[in-house]
Amino acid sequence: MRASHEALIVIDVQNDFCPGGALAVSEGDQIVAEINGMMNEFSTIVLTQDWHPMGHSSFASSHDDKTPFDMIDMPYGPQVLWPDHCIQGSTGAEFHPDLRIDPADMIIRKGLNPAIDSYSAFFENDKTTTTGLEGYLRAKGITQVTLVGLATDFCVYYSAMDAEKLGFTTTVQTSACRGIDMDGSLAKALADMQARGVNLT
């Protein structure tokens, strides 16, 4: 068992990020068994759930003449445009059916604001709007976090970078993560995390 100041944060293990889903990550489903096993080790477990309203501004379909994986400039900075995914209440937004949900203390939903995407479990992509996760973890005395889930180079990456910036000792267990790898984004994310002091195992 890990110490009580450690938390496991499971990022976006949802149907749409698994094979057959709207924004499928290759082998996204192959991390579920490992994550389920890790849940036995931690006394604090947080799951995140990408949870977009229909017509979300991060969807290519919400913009004229744009296709998935194009970039646009949003008021808060550059933004990748995605296929419609993780729409609130849809099957695609549900957790993978084999993921253990019962041990979770907390489920954080993100990406609800139609105007702002939210990769990180801590802040929306404007880098200021909080999800409340930091306060929750601090209130529970958590100082150390281990992140797993999807996708390594987007939501796991942004969450880990924020966790580290906020002063949590941060580990990404890469064996229990899979990436999208758009234009080398996976290698860049891993290098950035390493440079920042995120532990990769």
d(CA 110, CA 187): 25
Q: Where are the beta strands (DSSP E) in 40-164?
A: 44-50, 71-74, 77-80, 106-110, 144-150
Among 45, 155, 176, 193, binds ligand VGL (CB under 6 A): 155
Q: Is 110 a catalytic residue?
A: yes
Under DSSP, the state recorded for 121 is S
* Cα angle: 102, vertex 162, 152; to 5 degrees: 65
Say whether residue 122 binds ligand VGL (CB under 6 A). no
- Token pair belonging to 1: 């068992």
Say whether residue 50 binds ligand VGL (CB under 6 A). yes
Name which of 7 and 160 has its Cβ closer to ligand VGL: 160
Say whether residue 18 binds ligand VGL (CB under 6 A). no
Say whether residue 151 binds ligand VGL (CB under 6 A). yes
Could you say which residues in the range 34-53 bind Zn ion, by CB under 5 A? 50
Which one of 110, 117, 162, 177 is the catalytic residue?
A: 110
d(CA 128, CA 85): 24
Name which of 50 and 153 has its Cβ closer to Zn ion: 50
β-pair partners for 171: 146, 199
Contact segment (CB under 6 A) with ligand VGL among 65-73, 134-142, 151-159, 187-195 equals 151-159
Say whether residue 124 binds ligand VGL (CB under 6 A). no
Task: Tell me how many residues contact ligand VGL (CB under 6 A).
Answer: 9
Under DSSP, the state recorded for 60 is G
- With 0-12 / 13-18 / 19 or more C-beta atoms within 10 angstroms meaning exposed / middle / buried, residue 91 is exposed
Q: Where are the alpha helices (DSSP H) in 18-132?
A: 32-38
Q: Is 155 a catalytic residue?
A: yes
Among 93, 154, 163, 189, binds ligand VGL (CB under 6 A): 154
In the chain, the amino acid numbered 57 is S
We find the least distance from the C-beta atom of residue 4 to ligand VGL, in angstroms, to be 28
Q: Is 12 a catalytic residue?
A: yes
Where does this chain bind ligand VGL (CB under 6 A)?
A: 12, 17, 50, 82, 119, 150-151, 154-155
Residues forming the active site = 12, 110, 155
